[in-house]
Amino acid sequence: MTRTLDIGGRIELLPMDAHFCDISIGLYRQENAQGAVFRVHTYSQREGARVRIDSVKRAMRVLGGMEETPEGLLRFPCGAAHLLAVKRLFLEACKQGMDGEVSARPLTILDKKSGLHISATVGSDGVYQITADREESGAERRVRLVAGGLAKLGELEKVKGAEDRVRFNCGAAHDALVGVLLVRAPNVRSVLRELEQAANRGVLAAPSTQN
Ligand SMILES: [Zn+2]
């Protein structure tokens, strides 16, 4: 009897890794007693593929504030899945090379369209307040757009009655993760389109067609 490793359901796929021999890399989700856990996996038998998987996992820990379990799986300290955010984090981590230094993203971005610096600051209640560095006409609108972008990209909840405040449904702070999402938040539309394309690829590429 052959035993297959139960790796969980695939939630995201990088079809061709530009940093390592065009292998495909998948992100799989499982549940354990502590909550949602994620496995970065490739079916590639190439020498060095293991090292590449480790480098993607390391990037997800640094860029997303994830922890590694003794079994080599990744999880958020809060135990929640944060599904949309973890998919985004995975794709960002795959963009990192194998030997480059990876560091957490800042919580302030330059909004190219307005020239404003827009920041996310977390309070003790896990609520992220979005602010701009200048009070000028249009600044409020850009702040609202960035808060709305974060909400969409990371499935954050909007705080009732405050369009510049968002929080994760677990109530915890996830600074590193917010840093990854914040960069993309002003361009939320194009990012969502990219995610949809990735999802379509995930449906089309069966495991047997992967190298
Ligand atoms: Zn959480």
Q: Give per-residue pLDDT as tens, 144-202.
A: 999 999 999 999 999 999 999 999 999 999 999 999 999 999 988 887 787 777 777 76
Is 3 inside any structural domain?
no
pLDDT reading at 61 higher than 50: yes
Residues with CB under 5 A from ligand 1 (ion): 78, 80, 168, 170, 172
Q: Give me ligand 1 centre to Cα 148, in Å.
A: 18
Token pair of 61 as six digits: 């820990």
Same structural domain, 134 and 176: yes
Sole residue written with tokens 């190219």: 112
Same structural domain, 80 and 122: no
pLDDT reading at 205 higher than 90: no
Q: Give me ligand 1 centre to Cα 45, in Å.
A: 34
Same structural domain, 90 and 18: yes
Same structural domain, 23 and 65: yes
pLDDT of residue 202: 61
Is 210 inside any structural domain?
no
Alpha helices in the chain (DSSP H): 49-64, 83-94, 139-154, 175-184, 188-204
Alpha carbon dihedral 61, 66, 70, 71, in 10-degree steps, equals: -90
Is 203 inside any structural domain?
no
Q: Give me ligand 1 centre to Cα 104, in Å.
A: 17
Q: Give me ligand 1 centre to Cα 136, in Å.
A: 34
**CA nearest neighbour of 185 among 144, 156, 149, 151:** 149
pLDDT of residue 200: 77
Range of the domain at 154: 108-191
Question: What is the tally of structural domains in the chain?
Answer: 2
Same structural domain, 55 and 22: yes
Tens digits of residue pLDDT in 103-121: 999 999 999 999 999 999 9
Sign of the torsion angle spanned by Cα atoms 31, 25, 52, 106: negative
Q: Give me ligand 1 centre to Cα 178, in Å.
A: 11
